Amino acid sequence: MGFEPYRSPSTGRPVRAVLFDTFGTVVDWRTGVAREVATFAAAHGAALDAHAFADRWRALYQPAMDAIRSGQRSFTKLDTLHRENLDRALRHCGIEPALVPGETLEELNKSWHRLPPWPDSVDGLATICRHYIVGPLSNGNTSLLLDMARNAGLPWHVIIGSDMTGTYKPLPEAYLRTAGFLDLEPGEVMLAAAHNNDLRAAREAGLATAFIARPTEHGPGQVADLAPESDWDLVASSIPELARMLGS
């Protein structure tokens, strides 16, 4: 129908696929995890600040992947890292995980599979879907991203989990192998993310970039990633706004 795809000034290429960071950009991990932590705490009579617990659990995320990025540890999928970090976070709060039924912890670990979308996510993605390939570009494993999509109603065309690329962002291979599976040049792929460091790495790998502000990802006191820190191709305050900028 003569649709003209957005052409990235930085890559000089028309964008064919718009891929999204998920945790924080498309889904609200803090609210979602805290909700399930609160249920767990109530059921087990544990005194936990659910949001603080979610923050602590999340704080162990990057260090766990660092061991893999540096080659100290072979690729291990995010579900496993989350599960290990859950034990650590519980111990930090004085709860011995060995005293909690294994299935209960497995179920709590799956809270990362059931994160709620930001209110604008589903509509925005559905609009962009009309003219671009749309999918996640996340450190989540495939089964996590698939469950997340089915629960939140995210209309991905394709899911390329980190267990398919066998690496974690922000290593360049995470972006490049994803583009490779799509048979696209890096410059034909746009990463949309709420995190400047993710966009920095994507740009270095040759991708187009879009910043989406998510100023409450970390709760009311958020200090990082409140604004774009570079001249990303596009800067939007929501996914529908990004959709308009993409001409979708």
**Nearest distance from residue 137's CB to a second copy, in Å?**
14
Q: In what order do the strands lie in the sheet with 189-193?
A: 133-136, 17-20, 189-193, 208-212, 234-236
| Selected binder of a second copy within 158, 222, 230, 237 (CB under 8 A) | 158
| CB nearer a second copy, residue 20 or residue 211 | 20
Name the segment binding a second copy (CB under 8 A); options: 88-96, 99-107, 182-190, 212-220.
182-190
For residue 68, what are the contacts with CB-CB under 8 A and spacing of at least 6? 74, 75, 76, 167, 168
Residue written as token pair 């398919």: 164
CB atoms within 10 A of CB 134: 24
**150 part of the interface to a second copy, by CB under 8 A:** yes
Structure-block tokens of residue 112:
């990362």
**Nearest distance from residue 59's CB to a second copy, in Å?**
25
Report the relative pairing of strands 234-236 and 208-212 from DSSP bridges: parallel
Nearest CA among 21, 10, 25 for reference residue 213: 25
**Nearest distance from residue 135's CB to a second copy, in Å?**
9
**Nearest distance from residue 175's CB to a second copy, in Å?**
16
Contact 41, 58 (CB under 8 A): no
| Selected binder of a second copy within 44, 181, 224, 244 (CB under 8 A) | 181
CA dist., res. 70 & res. 176, Å (int):
18
Query: In the window 105-134, what residues touch a second copy (CB under 8 A)?
Result: 133
Task: Give first-to-last CA distance, the chain, whole Å.
Answer: 12
Name the segment binding a second copy (CB under 8 A); options: 44-52, 60-68, 149-157, 220-228.
149-157
| Selected binder of a second copy within 32, 117, 140, 161 (CB under 8 A) | 161
| Selected binder of a second copy within 54, 128, 159, 192 (CB under 8 A) | 159
CB atoms within 10 A of CB 85: 20
| Selected binder of a second copy within 37, 148, 149, 207 (CB under 8 A) | 149
Structure-block tokens of residue 228:
């774009």
Query: In the window 75-94, what residues touch a second copy (CB under 8 A)?
Result: 79
CA–centroid distance for 9 within its chain: 25
**182 part of the interface to a second copy, by CB under 8 A:** yes
* Binding region for a second copy (CB under 8 A): 79, 133, 141-143, 146, 149-150, 157-161, 163-164, 181-184
